[in-house]
Amino acid sequence: MTDCIFCKIVSGALPCAKIYEDDEMLAFHDISPQAPVHFLVVPKKHIATIMDCTGADSGLLGRLIVCAQNRAVELGLGEKGGRFIINCKEHGLQTVPHLHIHVLGGRVMGWPPG
């Protein structure tokens, strides 16, 4: 998608602080971190929101979560954990319409979300 920020990051047209890349996923630090560790994992394939996924995306969604978990361990969150978040559309306050999972850690998170 030509006007999608995360597609531009995936293609290299926009820079990012890359953590990990394979043929299907890209992980990079959030530009506006909300915790000592805050990174995003995106599938390279453009999917706007989690609501746009179907059963055919089950494998990709599983690998997205496992990729996020592996990167979280590599960045030191394995022992104390953190928060894995997928915001969706208007009520979820999703601001970038390209599916991504946030991983936050390094401090205790609040609950419930505001």
Assess whether 100 carries a catalytic annotation: yes
Three-class DSSP category at 73: helix
**For ligand 5GP, the closer CB: 42 or 77:** 42
Position 28 contacts ligand 5GP (CB under 6 A): yes
Of residues 47-76, those binding ligand 5GP (CB under 6 A): none
Amino acid identity of residue 102, one-letter, is H
Three-class DSSP category at 102: strand
Of residues 9-48, those binding Zn ion (CB under 5 A): 46
Residue matched to tokens 């394939």: 45
User: Which residues 6+ apart lie within 8 Å of 21 measured at CB?
Assistant: 27
Binding interface with ligand 5GP (CB under 6 A): 5, 14, 16, 28, 30-32, 40, 87, 93-96
